[in-house]
Structure 1
């Protein structure tokens, strides 16, 4: 099964949370902060008013409380509007 976003929606796959701090301290799952960085999995066609600026495979940073979480075939995805994407990570 495949997710195909409509209009100005983007399907993201959230990147894994850090399990260790820069100083080497191992974090428990309850102490790990939900990352706001994700990989673009699918992009909608856009609308007359909105030109899509992200492409599949890019890494992006999205708004903390944005989107709808979806679970398909044991994978978790987030569907957001393009306007909820704050930056492209290069």
Structure 2
């Protein structure tokens, strides 16, 4: 991947949406809700603190995370969709 996040940014690949409901009903593509889970692909260097040091991240590459509905910015690189967000947008590590 040629996408390198800067400072306190994180690159996340959204997980695939489920094509069936819990009851087994098949959903068409337009009825699927965008998943709010993704895999962390890259993390930046960390936020620059007043002391000149960088803060560390609680998430690491490879973590599966849960994030808010409107988290981050969607970008497309080499026909792949990614989200670039800050750690504040992440709610939990699964």
Q: TM bucket by the smaller chain?
A: over 0.9
Report the RMSD for the aligned CA atoms in angstroms. 1.1
Q: Secondary structure at the match of 1:30?
A: helix
Aligned length: 89
TM-score by length of 1: 0.92
Aligned partners of 2:44, 2:68: CA distance in 1, in Å?
A: 18
Deviations 1:45-77 (A, max 9, x none): 102444211111110011111111110111100
Matches within 5 A, 1:8-87: 8-49=8-49, 50-87=55-92
| Structure of higher CA gyration radius | 2
TM-score by length of 2: 0.89
Structure 1, unpaired ranges of 5+ = none
Aligned partners of 2:48, 2:76: CA distance in 1, in Å?
A: 30
